[in-house]
Amino acid sequence: MLNTIVHDSPVEVRLTILTWNVLGIVARAAKIGVS
């Protein structure tokens, strides 16, 4: 479902989703690094 949203979205929306995905990965990595 997310793939469909991304595919049909304009570039700005795609970049926003990508940014949030990266931030989520970084946050998870930081959490693992801290503990």
User: pTM here?
Assistant: 0.54
Q: What is the pLDDT of residue 18?
A: 93
pLDDT at position 1 over 60: no
The number of domains in the chain is 1
> Which structural domain, as residue segments, surrounds residue 23?
2-6+13-34
Name the token pair of 12.
């700005």
For residue 14, the model assigns a pLDDT of: 86
Q: For 3-32, what is each residue's pLDDT tens digit?
A: 665 566 688 888 999 999 999 999 999 998
pLDDT of residue 3: 63
